Amino acid sequence: MLHPMSSALIHQLPTAMRPREKLLSQGPAVLSNAELLAIVLRTGLPGCGVLQMAERLLRQFGGLAGLLRTSPEQLRGVKGLGGQAKRAELAAVLELSRRAMAEQLQVREAMNQPDLVQGYVQLHLAHRSHEVFGVLFLDAQHRLIRFAEMFRGTLTQTSVYPREVVQQALQWGASAVVLAHNHPSGAVQPSHADHLLTQTLRDALALVDIRVLDHVIVGPGQALSMAQQGWL
């Protein structure tokens, strides 16, 4: 949704409507995504206010989730982000957001907060243009040790090797794992192959006393937990 004053330059807005002043007086929760992003960007382009630029950026990358998956190299090609300082500031904010979510999973039991787990996986995989299979390695208290992208494939399929998953789990001292992959098509319902893969990995990891707690499938704006569906 376009902000009603997005085409206006910041200095043309009433003081109370300027993003920075609005944040200081009312708190960050009342600001739109574009307004928060505009504070980070600080300046727009000739004929393009910073709010309008922020909204264009969100549309280009598919919202906040897509923007959080954007690399510094991708930002370099965005009009208005040609300067190294602005790109560095935005990249730093995006990385802080990713790390903040990871820290929450490191200090809490992952399976007690399935929405956070699904959001974390979406953040990393949902906007990929090809299939990626990853694993969240968890300790005995089901806290996140690390997340690893293990296999990459095509638009529709990825080859997954159970032996490598087991080796990585042992290397990181994991007691449990959450499997994760994306469907670039956007449909998150698991295929027959997804069910077979999940069972194969469960069997392989069970041999070394490592539990598969969930298999999360994500697409743009969607996520599905096989555990919540009763399939694990």
Average pLDDT, the chain: 85
Tokens for 146, please give them.
């690390």
- pLDDT at 14 (0 to 100): 67
Say what the pTM is. 0.72
d(CA 212, CA 160) in angstroms, rounded, equals: 15
Same domain flag for 95 and 125: no
Q: Is residue 5 part of a domain?
A: no
Whole-angstrom Cα Rg for the chain:
20
Q: Which of the 8 DSSP states describes residue 153? A: -
Q: Residues 64-71: contacts with CB within 8 Å, 24+ apart?
A: 64/33, 65/122, 65/123, 65/126, 65/127, 65/220, 65/221, 66/127, 66/220, 67/37, 67/94, 68/94, 68/97, 68/98, 68/123, 69/123, 69/124, 69/126, 69/127, 69/128, 70/94
Q: Is residue 193 part of a domain?
A: yes
User: Which stretches in the chain have pLDDT values below 70?
Assistant: 1-14, 69, 82, 155-156
* Residue where one domain finishes, among candidates 79, 100, 121: 100
Q: Is residue 232 part of a domain?
A: no
- pLDDT at 47 (0 to 100): 77
Least Cα distance to 208 among 185, 175, 177 occurs for 175
Instruction: List the domain range (segments joined by +) for residue 147.
Output: 109-225
Q: Is residue 3 part of a domain?
A: no
Q: Is residue 1 part of a domain?
A: no
| Burial category of 142 from C-beta neighbours within 10 Å (exposed 0-12, middle 13-18, buried 19 and up) | buried
- Total domains in the fold of the chain: 2
- pLDDT at 18 (0 to 100): 82
d(CA 211, CA 85) in angstroms, rounded, equals: 45
Same domain flag for 62 and 33: yes
Same domain flag for 168 and 187: yes
Helix, strand or coil, per DSSP, at residue 14: coil
Same domain flag for 122 and 207: yes
Tokens for 34, please give them.
């574009």
Percent of the chain whose pLDDT exceeds 70: 91
- According to DSSP, the residues that pair with 151 across neighbouring strands are 133
Q: Is residue 139 part of a domain?
A: yes
- pLDDT at 2 (0 to 100): 46
Cα 28 to chain centroid distance, Å, stands at 21
- According to DSSP, the residues that pair with 217 across neighbouring strands are 181, 224
CATH number at residue 167: 3.40.140.10
* Residue where one domain finishes, among candidates 61, 80, 100: 100
d(CA 51, CA 178) in angstroms, rounded, equals: 39
- pLDDT at 140 (0 to 100): 94
pLDDT in tens, 159-202: 899 999 999 999 999 999 999 999 988 899 999 999 999 999 99
Q: Is residue 182 part of a domain?
A: yes
Same domain flag for 89 and 190: no
Same domain flag for 51 and 117: no
d(CA 32, CA 17) in angstroms, rounded, equals: 12
Same domain flag for 92 and 121: no
Q: Is residue 2 part of a domain?
A: no
* Residue where one domain finishes, among candidates 54, 80, 100: 100
Same domain flag for 73 and 175: no
